[in-house]
């Protein structure tokens, strides 16, 4: 059944932590979708639902049985993603799965296999793909502005407050900036440059001394031959991270810097400010470069992602980040940990998932 163009499509929200609350807030004010109910066993989630006048369920399966949801957003702990997602798929509900798609490659594959058998789409919440900045950058790459990609560089460095680590899982393996934050940058580069072939990495926990890393340096080789570097740290005082630079969320004070640099045989692009550099005539390092900049209207990628959820649920669009896409990005993030632990090059098709 397809929702009428004038009605809002009801969406079940499963998980009401920080990301789940963000989805709830945006869904409540979105013209295309509405909240069918909230499933989360915590007292805080029940209180939130009551304050908003929304139906609350401790068990997501009860929400799926009793609500009129036509799609589901899953923002539960990573290790529950596959099972919760499969419960949604078994009821024919398209799923927007928060990243990472699952905690392991095996569970992610199980989720995607279930979706394929049922003919139900799975989307993964790599919301940067919906940002008009990234959409424009992808268009520039496809138009040949870079030429052949040669190198890419990115930084994801900032300081998380001490209170962030009050939750024990954020101090333990799997709860660090590689899987929480850098996974977005890996997906961004895959989206713009192409598939990642191999990874080398080093990690450090020298600043806080936790079991989990606070810093990582990553070297990438792409299938097209381009090389890339990424640096991530949640223990450094810097402005060089996408969240501060891109202005996607109002709770971050935006700064005017670039964080990602794409270079090719014909030109280069910086993000998020979308500066391009090219030769207009004679080429060579002694010749002057010409700079241009694309100015875009600002748009909330989370709101655009919700529009996309309805379009996918109604069969009007294909997932911009599919479950299979989510697996490939998860492979790259897990390869960072494996490469750092083993201190050798990890090719993605041989990853063993150490977490």
SS (H, E, C) 40-109: CCCHHHHHHHHHHCCCEECCHHHHHHHCCCCEEEECCCHHHHHHHHHHHHHCCCCEEECCCCCCCHHHHH
Last residue of a domain, one of 68, 99, 120: 120
Cα gap 60→95, rounded to integer Å? 13
Going 349 to 172 to 127 to 75, the CA torsion angle's sign is positive
Query: Per-residue confidence at 6, pLDDT binned at 50, 70, 90?
Result: low
Q: Residue 217: which region, alpha, beta or left (left: phi > 0; alpha: psi -120 to 50)?
A: beta
Average pLDDT of every residue of the chain: 94
pLDDT higher than 60, residue 220: yes
- pLDDT value of residue 174: 81
Last residue of a domain, one of 120, 149, 164: 120
In a domain, 327, yes or no: no
Domain residues for the domain of 231 are 129-299+332-348
Last residue of a domain, one of 88, 120, 152: 120
In a domain, 354, yes or no: no
Q: Say whether both 115 and 159 belong to one domain.
A: no
Q: Say whether both 294 and 154 belong to one domain.
A: yes
In a domain, 324, yes or no: no
In a domain, 316, yes or no: no
pLDDT higher than 80, residue 352: no
In a domain, 173, yes or no: yes
The CATH number linked to 244 is 3.30.360.10
Is the peptide bond prior to 329 cis by the omega test (within 30 degrees of 0)?
Answer: no
Q: Say whether both 102 and 49 belong to one domain.
A: yes
The CATH number linked to 77 is 3.40.50.720
In a domain, 239, yes or no: yes
Q: Say whether both 74 and 170 belong to one domain.
A: no
Taking residues 69-83, what's their average pLDDT? 96
pLDDT higher than 70, residue 285: yes
pLDDT higher than 80, residue 36: yes
Q: Say whether both 134 and 91 belong to one domain.
A: no
Q: Say whether both 116 and 135 belong to one domain.
A: no
Number of domains observed in the structure of the chain? 2
- pLDDT value of residue 47: 98
Q: Say whether both 19 and 50 belong to one domain.
A: yes
Instruction: Summarize pLDDT for 232-277 with one digit per residue, the tens.
Output: 999 999 999 999 999 888 888 999 999 999 999 999 999 999 999 9
Q: Say whether both 150 and 48 belong to one domain.
A: no
Q: Say whether both 133 and 33 belong to one domain.
A: no
Q: Say whether both 79 and 170 belong to one domain.
A: no
Taking residues 186-193, what's their average pLDDT? 98
Q: Say whether both 37 and 153 belong to one domain.
A: no
Instruction: Summarize pLDDT for 172-184 with one digit per residue, the tens.
Output: 888 899 999 999 9
In a domain, 3, yes or no: no
pLDDT higher than 80, residue 4: no
pLDDT higher than 60, residue 196: yes
In a domain, 294, yes or no: yes
Query: Per-residue confidence at 2, pLDDT binned at 50, 70, 90?
Result: very low
pLDDT higher than 70, residue 332: yes
Q: Say whether both 18 and 103 belong to one domain.
A: yes
Query: Per-residue confidence at 354, pLDDT binned at 50, 70, 90?
Result: very low
Going 37 to 322 to 105 to 213, the CA torsion angle's sign is negative
């Amino acid at each position: 059944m397809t929702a009428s163009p004038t009605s809002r499509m009801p969406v079940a929200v499963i998980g009401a932590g920080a990301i789940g609350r963000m989805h709830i807030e945006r869904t409540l004010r979105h013209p295309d979708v509405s909240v069918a109910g909230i499933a989360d066993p915590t007292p805080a989630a029940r209180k939130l639902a009551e304050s908003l006048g929304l139906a609350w369920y401790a068990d997501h399966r009860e929400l799926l049985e009793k609500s009129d949801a036509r799609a589901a957003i899953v923002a539960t702990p990573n290790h529950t993603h596959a099972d919760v997602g499969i419960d949604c798929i078994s009821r024919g509900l398209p799923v927007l799965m928060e990243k990472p798609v699952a905690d392991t490659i095996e569970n992610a594959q199980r989720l995607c296999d279930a979706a394929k058998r049922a003919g139900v789409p799975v989307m993964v919440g790599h919301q940067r793909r919906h940002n008009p900045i990234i959409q424009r950058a992808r268009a520039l790459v496809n138009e040949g502005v870079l030429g052949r990609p040669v190198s890419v560089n990115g930084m994801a460095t900032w300081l998380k407050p001490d209170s962030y680590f009050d939750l024990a899982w954020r101090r333990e393996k799997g709860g660090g900036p590689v899987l929480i934050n850098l996974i977005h940058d890996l997906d961004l580069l895959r989206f713009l440059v192409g598939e990642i072939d191999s990874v080398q990495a080093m990690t450090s926990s020298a600043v806080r001394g936790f079991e989990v890393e606070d810093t990582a340096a990553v070297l990438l080789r792409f299938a097209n031959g381009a090389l890339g570097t990424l640096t991530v740290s949640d223990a450094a005082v810097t402005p060089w991270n996408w969240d501060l630079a891109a202005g996607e969320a109002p709770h971050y004070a935006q700064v005017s810097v670039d964080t990602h640099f794409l270079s090719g045989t014909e030109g280069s692009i910086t993000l998020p400010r979308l500066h391009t550099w090219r030769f207009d005539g004679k080429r060579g390092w002694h010749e002057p470069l010409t700079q241009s900049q694309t100015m875009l209207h600002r748009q909330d990628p989370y709101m655009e992602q919700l529009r996309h959820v309805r379009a996918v649920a109604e069969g009007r669009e294909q997932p911009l980040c599919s479950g299979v896409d989510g697996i490939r990005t998860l492979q790259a993030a897990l390869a960072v940990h494996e490469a750092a632990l083993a201190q050798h090059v990890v090719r993605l098709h041989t990853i063993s998932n150490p977490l």
